């Protein structure tokens, strides 16, 4: 991948300066790119001012001088509203590239790509994995769908943010992200249930985690989320509500292509029940609390 330091500064607009958008936009500023920022709540975007970004009140103004536009928005409906409902397309320059790094449905990504192409604007869907920790460190896994030439054009942006892989045509990045989220959500449940069984049976959860580390059951989920479970630290990094959205997007996509996903269906129900029981704004590892409550262990 081309390094940011070897690349001439680019004009990049970032739309959506939230938990992921802020550290990612900051890294683009620190890499020397000219960053213009927009967020519905202007105060969130103004946090980028000390890093050299310009802040705009309208997304159309933020993108007016940009060669590349990065979207980091809540879901597909919000992406559609910002791009096509708030006049952003009126400000986009023909030939510019929209890199949608939000997590949305593959069908929505393909629709946005087609609508932008009709206006002479290029598109990549490039969702990420790695959470706020990866965003801060520039170690995100980036899954990109779209034309290979557009992927190559986006590499200087990706270089500041993490490791990018082109996985196929429009919508494929979102398919890869759904696969990622299915594995993450299901594995969180497996780790939580296993550790709770050990605690219920009288073993030390922390020692069990230590004992199975390095074996076949080891994983990033066991190490990171398992430790959160041991410490009962469920401060939000990636919320239950977001994990639930991703599981539902996976099930919607599975239905569209005629694929039966029973394991994902089960975990969609578990995350939904966790949200109903007041855990929606906690970290997705807080599924542990839902399973603990079922077993009278809270």
pLDDT, tens digit, for every residue of 182-225?
A: 999 999 999 999 999 999 999 999 999 999 999 999 999 999 99
pLDDT at 131: 86
Q: Which two tokens stand for residue 235?
A: 């401060």
Contact of 146 with 125, CB cutoff 8 Å? yes
Give me the active site residues, please.
177
Which pLDDT tens digit goes with each residue over 91-122?
A: 999 999 999 999 999 999 999 999 999 999 99
Q: Torsion angle of alpha carbons 116, 119, 122, 127, nearest 10°? A: -20
The Cα–Cα gap between 20 and 127 comes to: 11
Report pLDDT for 191.
Answer: 98
Alpha-carbon gap, residue 51 to 172, rounded angstroms: 33
Residue 136 pLDDT: 96
Is-contact 17 25, C-beta < 8 A?
yes
3-state secondary structure of 284: helix
Q: What is the CA radius of gyration of the chain?
A: 20
Three-class secondary structure of residue 43 per DSSP? helix
May I ask the CATH class of domain 4-169? alpha beta
Q: How many DSSP H helices and E strands does the chain contain?
A: 15, 9
Residues of the chain with pLDDT under 70: 1-7
pLDDT, residue 282, reads 98
- Runs of H (alpha helix) within 201-257: 205-212, 220, 226-231, 240-257
CA distance 97 to 71: 11
Domain ranges across the chain: 4-169, 175-294
pLDDT at 7: 65
Specify the pLDDT at position 133: 87
Interatomic CA distance for residues 181 and 189, integer angstroms? 12
Q: Which class in CATH covers the domain with range 175-294?
A: mainly alpha
Residue 2: its pLDDT value, please? 39
């Amino acid at each position: 991948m081309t390094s940011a330091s070897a690349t001439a500064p680019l004009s990049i607009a970032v739309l959506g300066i939230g938990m992921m958008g802020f550290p990612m936009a900051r890294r683009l500023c620190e890499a020397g790119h000219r960053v213009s920022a927009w967020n519905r709540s202007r105060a969130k975007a103004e946090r980028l001012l000390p890093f050299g970004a310009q802040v705009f009140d309208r997304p159309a103004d933020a993108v007016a001088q940009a060669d590349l536009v990065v979207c980091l928005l809540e879901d597909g409906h919000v992406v559609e509203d910002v791009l096509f409902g708030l006049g952003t397309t009126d400000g986009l320059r023909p030939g510019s590239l929209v890199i949608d790094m939000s997590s949305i449905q593959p069908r929505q990504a393909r629709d946005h790509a087609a609508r932008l192409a009709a206006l002479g604007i290029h598109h990549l869907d490039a969702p990420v994995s790695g959470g706020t920790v990866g965003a801060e460190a520039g170690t995100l896994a980036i899954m990109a769908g779209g034309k290979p030439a557009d992927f190559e054009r986006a590499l200087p942006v990706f270089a500041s943010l993490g490791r990018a892989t082109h996985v196929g045509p429009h919508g494929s990045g979102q398919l890869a992200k759904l696969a990622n989220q299915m594995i993450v959500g299901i594995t969180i449940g497996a780790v939580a249930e296993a550790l709770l069984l050990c605690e219920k049976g009288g073993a030390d959860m922390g020692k069990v985690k230590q004992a199975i580390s390095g074996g076949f059951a080891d994983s990033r989920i066991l190490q990171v989320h398992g430790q959160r479970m041991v410490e009962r630290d469920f401060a939000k990094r990636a919320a239950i509500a977001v994990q639930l959205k991703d599981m539902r997007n996976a099930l919607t996509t599975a239905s569209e292509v005629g694929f039966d996903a029973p394991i994902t269906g089960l975990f969609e129900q578990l995350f939904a029940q966790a949200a109903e029981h007041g855990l929606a704004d906690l970290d997705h590892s807080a599924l542990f609390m839902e399973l603990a409550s079922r077993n009278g262990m809270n």
